[in-house]
Amino acid sequence: MTNKLIIFDTTLRDGEQSPGASMTKDEKIRIARVLEKMKVDVIEAGFAIASEGDFEAVQAVANIVQNSVICSLARALDKDIDRAGEALKGANASRIHTFIATSNIHMKMKLQMTPDQVVGQAVRAVKRANRYTDNIEFSPEDAGRSDEDFLCYIIEAVIKAGATTINIPDTVGYNIPHQFGATIKSLIERIPNSDKAIFSAHCHNDLGLAVANSLSAVLNGARQVECTINGLGERAGNTSLEELVMAVRTRQDIFDCDTNIDTMHILSASRLASSVTGFIIQPNKAIVGANAFAHEAGIHQDGVLKHRETYEIMRAEDVGWNANKLVLGKHSGRNAFKVRLAKLGVEFNDNASLNDAFRRFKELADKKHEIFDEDLQALVSETQTESYDEAIKLVSLKVCTETNEKNTATVVLFINDKKKTATANTSGAVDATFSAINSLASIKINLQLYSVSNVTQGTDALGEVNVRLEYNGRIVNGQGVDTDIITASAKAYVHGLNKVLTVTNKAHPQI
């Protein structure tokens, strides 16, 4: 490809900053494997200095992924850069991404530094990163609200110091497409050594313009875009990888560049990220939503039947959609099960994980007549999220409901290997279940979100429950699946409680 657009995925770093989207090391590895299979160029695996867990996750991804560049974020501080360099030691190809704020409001109110001090610190950071790698990215945080003359000054200095990628972040989602594109073009034209670096865009979606701003940047010379699966990220999120990639791929009449992304893996990556984070994909979400290629209107249906391109500008198959009906049942063997999951982008690290997932598949096959790919992905996600230390385990649940009467839930849990039972009576079955669990766990939890969705069609469908729990300022997400929605709710709540007990606090930056 003579004019390549580099895809820099930050799902594991900026995407994880979505409230409740904190990921374990194993979950990051699972997503990184799918990103690698999708041929993502650069994977930002985390912010190594944020916590010991983040360091270990960056290190693990760096040691496992072979075909993508692995990146760690670092503030323009020696300790951050050294920590990033240490985490990336095992990478086949590595990058350090360092940043410092450049807008007047950030320099004055947050950093309390003069512009010259900011430039000096940025240059020192880039030079220190050069001890570990020659692939260095620099971001002037809040560039979208920074003085352009100052941006030219600091960017010229960091390129001279060794930065090879210059990322321009619209940190607060303030810019408008024509404005952001003009900024990219102007910087490239005005900075004397701009030809020594690749210019990049990192746009937030506060005004719903992240993808539009990123596309405008590409049209004006940017050759890297930072994005996330499903547009996950701080506040309203980031540029959506699937939307950006398919916009460029579909409109080659406008864009004189293209990505290396294998779009066939887009849907599986989207579902995995949704499953891991608990952020449900809205039906009308572009590319990966359930309705993205659905046609309700009679005129549309007639047109598509006569010629697909009358109402479809992309082929659903090109992003991973298919009939997705799995012809497996309770008599199917382990190998057929494993092969089908491999086609869905799911791999197992050991036989124990495979055996556990296969056991759950057999149990599900006894309950459901038809099993779909979505069922398998939900089932496997539940299996693999159990990489958390399970201080609390659900043993059994009994619920009694009656019209115009209070609902009763009796829950049996293993808590630190001790069997405990509690009963609660409230107005709702789910509320009674959660109340019984709370009485045993002895943790005061604030339930911020409770959502239920069916994984597939039919009254025997798996129910997927997501809960968002808050405890002492820490927000976590819990997930559970079962053909019984009350049981799925109990599983999700217990999963969230275990996260509360095991997930460490992190100091997250904003770019």
Condensed to tens digits (0 to 9), the pLDDT of residues 120-145 reads 999 999 999 999 999 999 999 999 99
Residue 411 scores a pLDDT above 70 = yes
Residues above pLDDT 70, as percent of the chain? 89
Report the pLDDT averaged over residues 218-246.
Answer: 97
Residue 233 has what DSSP assignment?
-
The Cβ of residue 217 has, within 10 Å, a number of other Cβ atoms equal to 29
Place of tokens 């009656």: 402
Determine the pLDDT at residue 479.
Answer: 86
How would residue 503 be classed by pLDDT, with cut points 50, 70 and 90?
low
Place of tokens 């910087």: 187
Determine the pLDDT at residue 323.
Answer: 44
Q: When comparing pLDDT for 368 and 185, which is higher?
A: 185
Range of weakest confidence among 64-68, 82-86, 412-416: 412-416
How would residue 350 be classed by pLDDT, with cut points 50, 70 and 90?
confident
Element containing residue 445 per DSSP (H, E): none
Q: What is the DSSP string of 144-167?
A: GGS-HHHHHHHHHHHHHHT--EEE
Give the torsion through C-alpha atoms of 428, 430, 432, 436, to 10 deg.
180
Residue 87 scores a pLDDT above 90 = yes
Determine the pLDDT at residue 386.
Answer: 47
Model confidence pLDDT, tens digit, residues 250-271: 999 999 999 999 999 999 899 8
Place of tokens 């693999």: 384
Determine the pLDDT at residue 310.
Answer: 67
Q: Bridge partners of 226?
A: 8, 202
Give me Rg for the CA atoms of the chain.
24
Report the pLDDT averaged over residues 377-406.
Answer: 78
The Cβ of residue 40 has, within 10 Å, a number of other Cβ atoms equal to 29
Place of tokens 């809960």: 467
Cβ atoms of residues 175 and 140 within 8 Å: no
Report the pLDDT averaged over residues 327-344.
Answer: 74
The Cα–Cα gap between 213 and 289 comes to 22
Determine the pLDDT at residue 382.
Answer: 62
Round the average pLDDT of the chain to a whole number and report it. Answer: 88
Determine the pLDDT at residue 242.
Answer: 98
Q: Architecture of 390-502 per CATH?
A: 2-Layer Sandwich (3.30)
How would residue 372 be classed by pLDDT, with cut points 50, 70 and 90?
confident
Query: Which amino acid type is present at position 83?
Result: R
Angle between helices 373-384 and 266-277 (to 10 degrees): 40
Cβ atoms of residues 54 and 17 within 8 Å: no
Residue 349 scores a pLDDT above 80 = no
Residue 483 scores a pLDDT above 60 = yes
Determine the pLDDT at residue 376.
Answer: 78
Determine the pLDDT at residue 365.
Answer: 79
pTM: 0.83
- Encoding tokens for residue 267? 């849907």
Q: Architecture of 6-277 per CATH?
A: Alpha-Beta Barrel (3.20)
Report the pLDDT averaged over residues 25-49.
Answer: 95
Cβ atoms of residues 197 and 172 within 8 Å: no
The Cα–Cα gap between 239 and 203 comes to 6
Domain boundaries, the chain: 6-277, 292-320, 325-385, 390-502
Q: Of 414, 423, 409, give the one whose Cα is nearest residue 395.
A: 414
Q: Which residues of 61-173 form beta strands (DSSP E)?
A: 69-75, 94-101, 136-141, 165-170
Rama region for 502: left / alpha / beta (φ>0; ψ in -120 to 50; rest): alpha
Q: Of 257, 235, 236, give the one whose Cα is nearest residue 244.
A: 257
The Cα–Cα gap between 202 and 379 comes to 34
Cβ atoms of residues 263 and 45 within 8 Å: no
Determine the pLDDT at residue 304.
Answer: 46
Give the torsion through C-alpha atoms of 100, 103, 108, 110, to 10 deg.
-50
Phi first, then psi: give them for residue 428, nearest 5 degrees: -130, 150
Model confidence pLDDT, tens digit, residues 48-64: 999 998 999 999 999 99
